[in-house]
Amino acid sequence: MPVWRDIWNAVFGSVGMEAFFLHFFSPGLCVTAEYEGTPAAMGYLVPFGELMLNTKPIPCSMIFSVATLQEFRGKGLGTAVVRRLVELSRELGFQVVVLCPSEDDLFEYYSTRTELSDYFYVNETVFTNIPKTAETVLPTTVSVSEYKCIREYLLKDIVYIKHDIRTIEYQYELCKELGGGLFQVGDSCAVVERQSDSEVWVKELLTPDRKVKDLASDPTVKQVMASIAHLFPAEKYIIRSPANDDNGRRFGMLAFSDSDHSGQDSSDFKPWYGVAFD
C-alpha cells in the first residue's frame, strides 16, 4: 500500500486519498506497472453500482485513479494499466467498465488504444454574479441515503449510473473535505464542492424538468443556484446536469463485456454518469 499511496499523492495530491484507501482499497483490485523494476504507474478497479439501461440494472465497475509518475510518462505504462483493468473487470464478472478521462484529449487516446468508447455526457455551464433575492432560502442538507433516493427518483427514466451507497458516501467525504455537501432545494438535488475561495463546483444538479437546454436561463436552475450561492458565496460556479441531444460535452467512456448490452434507450437524454470517482 505505501507504493500506491506514494504514486497517488505525487500525481493527484492528498484530496480524497485517505477516504478512498479506508473504504475501497483492495490489493486484488489494484494494477501496478513497473519500469526497470521501479513501480511507475497504477490504477484501481472500483465496484461502484449499476448501469440502468432501459431500466435494467447492469453491474459495473470503474477504472479510477490511473496515474503515471512524471519521469516515466510516454512509455505506454498508463495504457497497459487501463487494458489490464478492463480485463480484470471482465474476469470478476462485471458486464460494464467505466472510465472518466481527466483531460479531453484522453478520449481519443483511449479510444484508439483500448476497447473503451465515448458514452457519458454532461451539460456544463458557468454561473457568475448570481443575484440574491428576498425569496432565496438556504438549501437543505440531506443524508447520504436521502440523497441517493432523491437522485434515483429524478433519473429514473434515463440511462444513468445508479451509484451504490458506498460511492455516495465517498462523495460525501469529498464534499466534507472540500467544504461542500449534499443538498435538496425544493424538488431538486445538488452535490456541491468548494474548489477555492472564488470557485464552487456543483458536480450534479438534478431537477424534475431535465429537458433543459440552457441552464443559465432555466427558472428552476436559477432558483437552485441562488439558494446554493446564498450558502456558498463565490465568484464562479461550474454546474453539471444531464445532457440532451442539443447540448453536452464528453464526460466518460465505457466498454461492455457483452454486445447484447451495447444499445442505448430511446430517451432524449445522453447517458449520465454523476458523482464521485470523476
pLDDT band for 20, please (50, 70, 90 cuts).
very high
**How do residues 216-227 score in pLDDT, each as one tens digit?**
888 889 889 999
Sign of CA dihedral 120, 125, 130, 134: negative
pLDDT computed for residue 259 by the predictor: 59
Kindly state the cell numbers that stand for 112: 484508439
User: Any idea which of 184-193, 204-213, 267-276 has the lowest mean pLDDT?
Assistant: 204-213
**How do residues 169-204 score in pLDDT, each as one tens digit?**
999 999 999 999 999 999 999 999 999 999 999 999
Q: In the chain, what percentage of residues exceed pLDDT 70?
A: 93
Class assignment of domain 122-241?
alpha beta
216 half-sphere exposure, CB direction, 13 A CA radius: 11
Residue with cell 480524497: 16
Q: What is the pTM of this model?
A: 0.92
Q: Under DSSP, is residue 30 helix (H, G, I), strand (E, B) or coil?
A: strand
Q: What CATH number belongs to 2-120+246-261? A: 3.40.630.30
Span between the terminal Cα atoms of the chain, in Å: 22
Q: Are strands 236-241 and 117-128 parallel, antiparallel or unpaired?
A: antiparallel
Is residue 135's pLDDT more than 70? no
Kindly state the cell numbers that stand for 18: 485517505
User: Any idea which of 53-57, 96-100, 150-154, 266-270 has the lowest mean pLDDT?
Assistant: 266-270
**Interatomic CA distance for residues 106 and 102, integer angstroms:** 7
Cα dihedral 110→257→92→164 (10° resolution): 80
Please answer whether residues 95 and 261 qualify as being in contact, where contact means their C-beta atoms are separated by less than 8 angstroms: yes
pLDDT computed for residue 266 by the predictor: 46
Say if 2-120+246-261 and 122-241 have the same CATH topology: yes
pLDDT band for 126, please (50, 70, 90 cuts).
very high
> What are residue 46's DSSP bridge partners?
62
Is residue 129's pLDDT more than 90? no
**Interatomic CA distance for residues 225 and 234, integer angstroms:** 11
Residue with cell 458486464: 95
pLDDT computed for residue 269 by the predictor: 76
- Would you give the DSSP letter of residue 269? B
pLDDT computed for residue 252 by the predictor: 97
pLDDT computed for residue 216 by the predictor: 80
Domains of the chain by residue range: 2-120+246-261, 122-241
pLDDT mean over 17-45:
93
| Element spanning 154, H or E | helix 144-154
pLDDT mean over 111-126:
95
pLDDT mean over 247-256:
93
